[in-house]
Structure 1
Amino acid sequence: MEQPEVQVLADKLDQLLERYGKLELENQALKTRQEDWIRERAQLVHKNDLAKTKLEAMIGRLRALEQH
């Protein structure tokens, strides 16, 4: 193999390694964002459940008042 061919392969390998590093960082950032969204969704579901429980309690009290 001639020297220029070796250099071309070395350059391509360097480019691939650089691209791999960037993709690895991007993948980690996406995983972090996904984890944040999962936590946020869990919090919103919890808040929604609390609001639903409070609303059902209010409706129950209103019905009780209505019957008296």
Structure 2
Amino acid sequence: MESLQETSSALDRLQQRLREMLERIRRLEEENRSLHTRQESLVSERAQLVQRNEEARERVEAMIERLKALENAG
């Protein structure tokens, strides 16, 4: 049978382990929030880049059409 001191020591170790686990959970939650924020930012940035690319493509196509029209008129 365990002595009172052994039981107390085991409880102290358990308490320390629980503190470590809680700290790890806190850090993981913080990291998770940060990653979600970064992901939202990247998704938004990507949408803007896709839009800018589409606008550039439309301008290039319009220029090509104008050049073709000039070529046909000349």
Alpha-carbon distance in structure 2 between the residues aligned to 1:13 and 1:67: 80
| Root mean square deviation, CA, Å | 0.8
Structure 2 gaps, min length 5: none
For 1:18, the equivalent position in structure 2 comes to: 23
Alpha-carbon distance in structure 2 between the residues aligned to 1:36 and 1:17: 29
Q: Share of identical aligned residues, percent?
A: 46
For 1:32, the equivalent position in structure 2 comes to: 37
Q: TM-score, normalised by structure 1?
A: 0.97
Query: Which amino acid in the other structure matches residue 36 of structure 1?
Result: S
List per-residue Cα deviations over 1:14-55 (Å, max 9, x = no partner).
000000000100011011001100000000000000000010
Matched, 1:6 2:11: yes
Query: Which amino acid in the other structure matches residue 68 of structure 2?
Result: R
Find the structure with the greater CA-based Rg. Answer: 2
Consecutive aligned runs of 4 or more in structure 1 exceeding 2 Å deviation: none
Structure 1 gaps, min length 5: none
Alpha-carbon distance in structure 2 between the residues aligned to 1:15 and 1:41: 38
Query: Which amino acid in the other structure matches residue 5 of structure 1?
Result: A
Alpha-carbon distance in structure 2 between the residues aligned to 1:8 and 1:24: 24
Number of aligned positions between the proteins: 68
Alpha-carbon distance in structure 2 between the residues aligned to 1:31 and 1:47: 24
